[in-house]
Amino acid sequence: MMTDTPPDLECRGLAKRFDNVTAVDSVDFSVPAGSFFSILGPSGCGKTTIMRMIAGFLEPSSGDIRIKGRSVLGVPPNKRPVNMVFQHLALFPMMNVAENIGYGLRRQGVSKSEIMRRTGEVLERISLPGIGGRKVSELSGGQRQRVAIARCMVLEPDVLLLDEPLGALDLKLREKMKVELKALQAEFDTTFVYITHDQGEALVMSDKVAVMNAGRFEQVGPARELYYNPATAFVAGFVGDANRWKGRVTAAHGADVTVLLDSGLTLCARGTGLAQGDRVEIFVRPEAISIAHDPHAMGEDANQIAVQVTAMLFNGANSRVLVRDPQSGAEIDVALPQSAAFAGLDKGDAVHIGWNRDQSLCFADSGT
Amino acid sequence: MTPGRLSFFLLLAPLVLWLGLLIVIPHIDMALVSLRARVAPGEYTPSLQNYADFFTQPLYLVTFARTAIMSILATAITLIIGFPISYYIAKIAKGRSQASLFLMCLIPFWVSELVRTFGWIILLRETGVISGLLQWAGLADQPVEMLYNDSAMMLGLVYTSMLFMVVPLTTTLESLDDAVIEAGYDLGGNGFSVLREIVIPHAMPGIVSGCIVVFMLSLGNYLTPTMLGGKDSLWFTQLIYSQFIVRFNWELGAAFGFCLLGASSLIVWGMLRLTGQTLERTMGEGS
């Protein structure tokens, strides 16, 4: 839909090697204007290196970074149309809020009255009007967060980089800031590139998420696609919760495979490019598994097991039931349906669980 | 008395003894000595004559002013040289090289100040290393005397005080988060503006505490001006020494001592006011 305007940020064959270690290995992506793009990965996967290359603190070993169609290779950080919200925000402790926000404008040589006006305006937009005179140390965690974003946004960058800025906040505030960040992004209508190891943050806020592992992008797509159609075993295991089992393919007909798990259970699953005898990993989401007292209620599900409840893990809407297959001894994590029928479920109860063939995602075992 | 109070006083005792015996009592005695005049051998009368002498004798006043100005200059030079060194140690050097650089600053202080100063004499004197090198290289056709002038003395003062500037500066600079410096660049700052708006304001407590220590050390230095300075580089401490030891005029010497104390307090106070720091903050954070 945006064929004529170049994307706000585009990386082509981006790579970074430190001595013998390849931190980022030929990564390609482009971020359309005004969208929220996240890079999700475990610590040490190279996501911070990508961000620092975009910001200009590191030079790529090879590849190109284009912002609004123009290559920024060789442009120092202070000349790039990109600003960064640091992990610990890095607000200037020696300045008050207004001076922090005005810092970048002062560097651009904007007049004092104009700085005053724009600082006031941006404080208004982050709904913290009138706090310009406060010290940074007097602000709460959430306020600091917003000031750090305002400090960048007042410069109207083409791309805003955010380096796990929610990591230091407590859980409640983090949940609130997720929603707020998304709203701020819409408000400023700027391209956000967000890196995090927290899948919750990435899935909730992003238009598109790149899942990164060992210097490469495993899969890039909308959150829903990553969750329901993971391309690799890593994505299936990293995004969302899943029961994860290893086994061997005993029969394969096209995409339909039958797998004998190491625990002795036999499952019907779906996976491409697998042949009989292959070692595989199977992922089943806890909420994909239905649970019933009566075996006839399971319907057409390809995988049906009569199990015993071993533990109830109550956690409000995210409650889980741990069940065990008495024959194989395999433990299975099942989401507790929010209906009165299972409210009284207790340890030792016999129940039936079942799930569809399509909901057992099967990947060749990578050996990890 | 409860055991808690007893242990409190016991813990306090060394401090009180130290302050009382080594600082308060000698100073009270000095103050009394400075406020009397000798009328006959062994006979004294209370008088302000000694202070009047100080303020009316041009030699005393000029030497006093010279000492203060040269000390301020030495402090400024030490800061200008020490700041990049500290910045390098705190922010640029990593791991082992950081530790070894810091150690290299410390090593000269393992030998006495006398030996260190004598090292400079070996380098700078007419028959010394540098003079010899210059002649060998053909840059000088006769021995060059580089000792016994203000520059040699300044060199010695800066060298002697360098560690006391580098330590508090390195400590404060280390406490500055690298991300804050990066944020300064990221938001459009260049090296100079990041230094002026971020690094120096952050390092201010360290700068001030280093400057206070170096200034005090320079002002009260006796050895370096005596060994490296020339006959025109009279230092105020040398005047005090000569009053006490050579002239045996303890009264005037004591008065000089108090003038020096007053002046150094005044200059330190001015320095704190000028930079908007407090003594608690600089001493607490700096070293």
| A91, A107, A152 ranked by CB distance to B189: nearest | A107
CB-based contact A86 B187, cutoff 8 Å: no
Is residue A1 over pLDDT 80?
A: no
Closest CA–CA distance from residue B187 to any residue of chain A (Å): 5
In a domain, A2, yes or no: no
CB-based contact B182 A93, cutoff 8 Å: no
Give yes or no: residues A223 and A353 share one domain.
Answer: no
Q: Is A28 helix (H, G, I), strand (E, B) or coil?
A: strand
pLDDT band, residue A151 (cuts 50/70/90):
very high
Mean pLDDT in residue range B144-171: 89
* Share above pLDDT 70 across residues of chain A, in percent, rounded to a whole number: 98
What ipTM, to 2 d.p.? Answer: 0.80
CB-based contact A103 B186, cutoff 8 Å: no
Q: Is B179 on the interface with A (CB under 8 A)?
A: yes
pLDDT in tens, B62-89: 999 999 999 999 999 999 999 999 999 9
Handedness of CA A89, A94, A98, A99 (dihedral sign): negative
Q: Is B281 on the interface with A (CB under 8 A)?
A: no
CATH of the domain at B185: 1.10.3720.10
Residue from A274, A151, A215, A292 nearest A16 by CA? A215
Give yes or no: residues A120 and A193 share one domain.
Answer: yes
Is residue B287 over pLDDT 50?
A: no
CB-based contact B179 A104, cutoff 8 Å: no
pLDDT in tens, B247-284: 888 888 899 999 999 988 998 898 888 888 777 776 65
pLDDT band, residue A4 (cuts 50/70/90):
low
The answer to whether A192 touches A36, Cβ cutoff 8 Å, is yes
Those residues whose C-beta lies under 8 Å from the C-beta of residue A265, and which sit 6 or more positions away, are: A245, A305, A325, A327, A328, A330
Give yes or no: residues A101 and A183 share one domain.
Answer: yes
| A76, A86, A95 ranked by CB distance to B179: nearest | A86
**Distance (Å, rounded) from C-alpha A281 to C-alpha A349?**
29
For A156, the closest chain B residue by CA position comes to B187
Q: Is B193 on the interface with A (CB under 8 A)?
A: yes
Count interface pairs A-B at CB distance under 8 A. 62
CB-based contact B202 A93, cutoff 8 Å: yes
Give yes or no: residues A93 and A145 share one domain.
Answer: yes
Q: Which residues of A touch B206 (CB under 8 A)?
A: none
The answer to whether A335 touches A278, Cβ cutoff 8 Å, is no
Residue from A171, A166, A173 nearest A148 by CA? A166
pLDDT band, residue A316 (cuts 50/70/90):
confident
| B179, B185, B201 ranked by CB distance to A77: nearest | B185
Q: Which of A212, A236, A260 is the last residue of a domain?
A: A236
Identify the domain containing residue A356 by its residue range: 243-364
Q: Is B9 on the interface with A (CB under 8 A)?
A: no
Closest CA–CA distance from residue B197 to any residue of chain A (Å): 9
In a domain, B35, yes or no: no
Give yes or no: residues A225 and A247 share one domain.
Answer: no
In a domain, B176, yes or no: yes
In a domain, B48, yes or no: no
* CB contact residues (below 8 A), chain B span 75-114, against chain A: none
* Residues shown for chain B: 287
pLDDT band, residue B231 (cuts 50/70/90):
confident
- Of residues B64 and A317, more confidence is placed in B64
Kindly list the distances between the CA atom of residue B57 and the CA atoms of A70, B65, B66, B205, B246, in Å, as whole numbers in the listed order. Answer: 74, 13, 14, 38, 18
| Residue to substitute from A92, A118, A144, A159, interface B, most B β-carbons within 10 A | A92
* CB contact residues (below 8 A), chain A span 229-288, against chain B: none
Give yes or no: residues A250 and A188 share one domain.
Answer: no
Give yes or no: residues A88 and A217 share one domain.
Answer: yes
Give yes or no: residues A126 and A144 share one domain.
Answer: yes
In a domain, A3, yes or no: no
Predicted pLDDT at B90: 92
Q: Which residues of A touch B184 (CB under 8 A)?
A: 92, 103
CATH of the domain at A265: 2.40.50.100
pLDDT in tens, A221-271: 999 999 988 988 899 888 888 888 888 898 888 888 888 888 888 888 888
Closest CA–CA distance from residue A364 to any residue of chain B (Å): 42
Give yes or no: residues A250 and A226 share one domain.
Answer: no
Identify the domain containing residue B88 by its residue range: 57-286
In a domain, B31, yes or no: no
Strand pairing of A191-196 and A36-40? parallel
Q: Which residues of B touch A103 (CB under 8 A)?
A: 184, 187, 189, 197
DSSP label at residue A231: S
Q: Is A107 on the interface with B (CB under 8 A)?
A: yes
pLDDT in tens, A80-105: 999 999 988 899 998 999 999 999 99
Token couple for B173: 């600079």
Give yes or no: residues A203 and A313 share one domain.
Answer: no
Q: Which residues of B touch A93 (CB under 8 A)?
A: 180, 202
| A56, A87, A104 ranked by CB distance to B187: nearest | A104
The answer to whether A215 touches A22, Cβ cutoff 8 Å, is yes
Backbone angles phi, psi at A304, to 5 degrees: -135, 130
Give yes or no: residues A196 and A60 share one domain.
Answer: yes
Mean pLDDT in residue range A42-54: 90
Encode burial over A198-230: b for 16+ CB neighbours within 10 A, e otherwise: ebebbbebbbbbbbbbebbbbbbbebeebbeeb
CB-based contact B182 A90, cutoff 8 Å: yes
Predicted pLDDT at B286: 41
Give yes or no: residues A83 and A194 share one domain.
Answer: yes
CB-based contact B188 A78, cutoff 8 Å: yes
In a domain, A354, yes or no: yes
Torsion angle of the four alpha carbons B208, B214, B216, B222, in this order, in degrees rounded to the nearest 10: -170
Q: Is B191 on the interface with A (CB under 8 A)?
A: no
Handedness of CA A225, A231, A237, A242 (dihedral sign): positive
Q: Is A90 on the interface with B (CB under 8 A)?
A: yes
CB-based contact A57 B184, cutoff 8 Å: no
Residue type, B218: S
In a domain, B10, yes or no: no
CATH of the domain at A176: 3.40.50.300
Strand pairing of A21-31 and A9-18? antiparallel
Per the structure, how many domains does chain B have? 1
In a domain, B38, yes or no: no
Q: What is the mean pLDDT of chain A?
A: 87
CA angle A74, A78, A83 (to 5 degrees): 105
pLDDT in tens, A275-314: 888 889 999 998 888 888 887 777 777 788 888 888 888 8
CA atoms within 13 A on the CB side of A325: 18
pLDDT in tens, A49-67: 999 999 999 999 999 999 9
Per the structure, how many domains does chain A have? 2
Q: Which of A209, A236, A263 is the last residue of a domain?
A: A236
Predicted pLDDT at B283: 65
In a domain, A83, yes or no: yes
Q: Which of A236, A270, A286 is the last residue of a domain?
A: A236
End-to-end CA distance of chain A: 40
CB-based contact B188 A76, cutoff 8 Å: no
Secondary structure (DSSP) of A68-131: TTEE-TT--GGGSSEEEEBTTB---TTSBHHHHHHHHHHHTT--HHHHHHHHHHHHHHTT-TT-
The position carrying tokens 């003062």 is B157
